[in-house]
Amino acid sequence: MPMVEVAILDAAVKYDKLYGYFAADRGVAVGSLAIVPFGPRDALRRAIVLRVSGGAGRTPARVKPISRAMAEEPVLSEEMAGLALWMKEAYITTYGDIIRTMVPTDVVKGEPASGGLVRFAELSEDAAKVAADIAGGSFGTLQQIRVLETLMERGGMPVTELCSAAGCGGSPIATLIRRGYVKVERKRRAQAGATGTRGGGPAGEADAGPAIPAVGAVGEAELTKGQRECINKVRAAMRSGAYGHGLIRGVTGSGKTEVYMAVIREALDAGRDAILLVPEISLTPQMTERFKARFGGTVAVFHSGLAPRERVAEWRRVRGGEARIAIGARSAVFAPVRDIGVIIIDEEHEHTYKSEKSPKYHAAEVARRRCAAHGAYLLTGSATPSVRSYHEAARDGGAGLFIMDERANRKPMPKVEIIDMREELKAGNRSVISGALAAGVRGALGMGRQAILLMNRRGHSTFVLCRDCGHIVRCGMCEIPMTYHSSGQRMVCHYCGNARVSPKACPSCGGGNVRFFGAGTQRVEEEALSLFPGAAVARMDADTTKGRGSHAGILGRFGSGGIDVLIGTQMVAKGHDFPNVTVVGIMAADASLGIQDYRATERTFQLIAQAAGRAGRAAEEGKVYVQAYDVDNYGILAAASHDYPSFYETELRVRERLGYPPFAELGEVTLSSHYDGVAGEAAVYLAGKVDELKGRRGLKATILGPSRSPMPKVGGEYIWRVVLKAADRPTLRELLGEAAALHEGSAYAGPKAKVGISVDINP
């Protein structure tokens, strides 16, 4: 009788391991969800099969049989099950967290993984009448027009695909249904056009796959020399059938997207599939629309804005072979594609590829593992690659390093002017917008052009202070300064969300001399409206983009010319291509230099270089204004001159001297408690035990701390940390794993003083 090893999906940490069960002719395979009897009382628990072990050395008296399968077929392939086993060890996390990250929640709960009904949308009116009504201005929103144009262009489609293609939620579709322009019916997936899947369609179509437009059919561009060289080298590597890895360092506007499309075309032509990762899918609608125009219905899109049922629908399309290209943010690296030919990571430097919650994985590491298992190619790209990635690509002779140092339209990079804000203050200008930037924006507007203003802090003022006693209003849950928001005159904690009305009098001394200091996007918007009367000004930050489709809505208005000046946080600097933008202003460009992170200068350089790249991407030359106080910082100077190599060489020397990645591996153990002393005691205990273990086993590592976290209290919990620095990853994992095990068996101040632990590799 075959025996399998399963992980209990909701097991406590100390029970989070593999358990043996007999399959007992239940047709259970690797990747299957199952119900198993667990514990001395045989409580029924949800589990997933991760390994078939054969049953050698076990007796039926000691091994229980699986009660039943939860679905007709496995939800994980053998490759993905192996990936889960690897992630458990690599990231010191739980099986439950891993599976919930890999598979949509509704599927993990046991919803059938195939078949079912979908809501299918079609036009109710003749296409000619719809087009005439659009031209006549009959529709109130751009999203309604996009829905109608998508249906006219592509015909009927499932509502989930329509929302993704039109960049909207359900509201504009509901409005069009009420007005009689669109109808929605429930249909079987096969009736809704989900036929022709590889391995599940009608007879004679099982291997056909979805229709893919022919080469040159939609929007293929003339390639530059750098693009052609990169594509040819990657194609040659892909055709070898062995794992390979390449990095494109291409200036902003160099046409990396065209390279990605050509590489994906190579994979599809070979009968293989592709995954494209972007930093934040909701911020890059242009990217997804370009891929859908080029590759048609074979594209599936994953992002956090999808409703659970929509996410399941896209997951099924990929898993069944109906969609062969999966595009999405970090978690799309787990898309259940059958035969990976290539994984592409765009803007690979972005910190959003690193998960901040368990499992604390990095998408690039997972992508590397998946590509190795499939004999696939991993291609990453950025105008500002991370120092670690670039060092790795250049270290081995640079065979996998591709340089694209000219823009696809052969236009020059924008000119950059650094504005010393100390001089602005001396001249009496207390505005967050310098005189030179204001003049530049006015000039652009006068010529019918657009501008982007970047302030990487939201809200109106960054802290509220009493000038009489010096008291700063802080969050009671997090003990950090609260940010003032002019809308509603509220103070908000941007870590826990705690909000309260701004005080008229000082909470400490009762004085009335309460003032607002620092600046955020709301204040920039306020000053822009005053400086540029008559201009259409809009703000794009976390406060204005809470609704579904809000990102796409704002960017759509900007792209169509409905907004003259777009103000926002870093989300306005990522991957956008607006030909009419000729001026970019970057305010408080040096603010990120003050954070407690060895990558502070790197992230400052990247933000400035990426934002600057939004200017002058078409015929008109661009101009960028960088406002800062620390105008001599090497990261700012290198970004202003578009000089990645000089930044990289300087930063690498600094890292080597201080012993930071890529010359070391870092790990962090954070301990949290409602009691500061208990969290501190736990940190001291763990640091001492890990130091003893290191000496006993002869492991080379450095222990930093214990110390309070840079954010010492968040959400009512006090946080301490222990940082480990080792020469290699195996040593780091061994020490971090032992630290987690030591914590699990310890009681620092009694059972009521619970201490939470979190382990992070290369945080």
| Predicted confidence band of residue 411 (pLDDT cuts 50, 70, 90) | confident
More confident call, 699 vs 135 = 699
Mean pLDDT is lowest, of 153-157, 173-177, 247-251, 365-369, for 153-157
Average pLDDT estimate for 706-722: 88
Q: In this predicted structure, what is the pLDDT of residue 729?
A: 94
Q: Which two tokens stand for residue 42?
A: 């045989």
| Predicted confidence band of residue 664 (pLDDT cuts 50, 70, 90) | very high
- Is the pLDDT assigned to residue 708 strictly greater than 80? yes
> Rounded to an integer, what distance in angstroms lies between the CA atom of residue 668 and that of residue 711?
14
Q: Where are the alpha helices (DSSP H) in 182-327?
A: 225-239, 256-269, 285-295, 308-319
Q: In this predicted structure, what is the pLDDT of residue 458?
A: 76
Q: Encode pLDDT of 598-613 as tens digits.
A: 999 999 999 999 999 8
Q: Which two tokens stand for residue 245?
A: 């890895």
More confident call, 276 vs 322 = 276
More confident call, 749 vs 81 = 81
Q: Encode pLDDT of 683-703 as tens digits.
A: 999 999 999 999 999 999 999
Q: In this predicted structure, what is the pLDDT of residue 491?
A: 81
Average pLDDT, the chain: 86
Q: Which residues lie closer than 8 Å to 667 by C-beta, 6 or more apart? A: 723, 724, 725, 726, 732, 733, 735, 736, 759, 760, 761, 762, 763
Average pLDDT estimate for 44-73: 78
Tokens 């929640």 locate to 105
The pTM for the full model equals 0.82
Mean pLDDT is lowest, of 146-155, 210-219, 487-496, for 210-219
More confident call, 359 vs 396 = 359
> Rounded to an integer, what distance in angstroms lies between the CA atom of residue 473 and that of residue 462?
11
| Predicted confidence band of residue 359 (pLDDT cuts 50, 70, 90) | very high
- Is the pLDDT assigned to residue 212 strictly greater than 80? no
Q: In this predicted structure, what is the pLDDT of residue 27?
A: 66
| Predicted confidence band of residue 115 (pLDDT cuts 50, 70, 90) | very low
Q: In this predicted structure, what is the pLDDT of residue 270?
A: 93
Q: In this predicted structure, what is the pLDDT of residue 751?
A: 55
Q: In this predicted structure, what is the pLDDT of residue 513?
A: 85
Residue 33: enclosing H or E segment and its boundaries? strand 33-38
- Is the pLDDT assigned to residue 6 strictly greater than 60? yes
Q: In this predicted structure, what is the pLDDT of residue 232?
A: 93
- Is the pLDDT assigned to residue 502 strictly greater than 90? no
Q: Give 352's DSSP letter.
A: G
Residue 44, CB half-sphere, CA atoms under 13 Å: how many? 8
Mean pLDDT is lowest, of 144-153, 264-273, 605-614, 691-700, for 144-153
More confident call, 715 vs 755 = 755
| Predicted confidence band of residue 155 (pLDDT cuts 50, 70, 90) | confident
Mean pLDDT is lowest, of 266-280, 617-631, 641-655, 735-749, for 735-749
- Is the pLDDT assigned to residue 188 strictly greater than 80? no
CA 490 to chain centre: 29
Tokens 């205990």 locate to 685
SS3 content of the chain, % helix, strand, coil (to 5): 35, 25, 40
Mean pLDDT is lowest, of 97-101, 188-192, 491-495, 537-541, for 188-192
Q: Are strands 717-726 and 701-714 parallel, antiparallel or unpaired?
A: antiparallel
Q: In this predicted structure, what is the pLDDT of residue 194?
A: 41
Average pLDDT estimate for 32-41: 90
Residue 712: enclosing H or E segment and its boundaries? strand 701-714
Tokens 């097991």 locate to 11
Buried b / exposed e across 130-168, counting CB within 10 Å, b at 16+?
beebeeeeebebbbbbbbbebbeeeebbbbbbbbbbbbb
Q: Which two tokens stand for residue 698?
A: 């002869």
Q: In this predicted structure, what is the pLDDT of residue 169?
A: 67
More confident call, 70 vs 227 = 227
Q: Encode pLDDT of 531-546 as tens digits.
A: 999 999 999 988 787 7
| Predicted confidence band of residue 563 (pLDDT cuts 50, 70, 90) | very high
Q: In this predicted structure, what is the pLDDT of residue 728?
A: 94
Q: Give 187's DSSP letter.
A: E
Mean pLDDT is lowest, of 20-29, 46-55, 317-326, 528-537, for 20-29
Give me the long-range contacts of 526-531 (CB less than 8 A, separation at least 24): 526/460, 526/486, 527/431, 527/432, 527/433, 528/433, 528/441, 528/453, 528/565, 528/567, 531/431, 531/433, 531/438, 531/441, 531/442
Average pLDDT estimate for 84-88: 97
| Predicted confidence band of residue 650 (pLDDT cuts 50, 70, 90) | very high
- Is the pLDDT assigned to residue 208 strictly greater than 50? no
Between the two ends of the chain, the Cα-to-Cα distance in Å is: 45
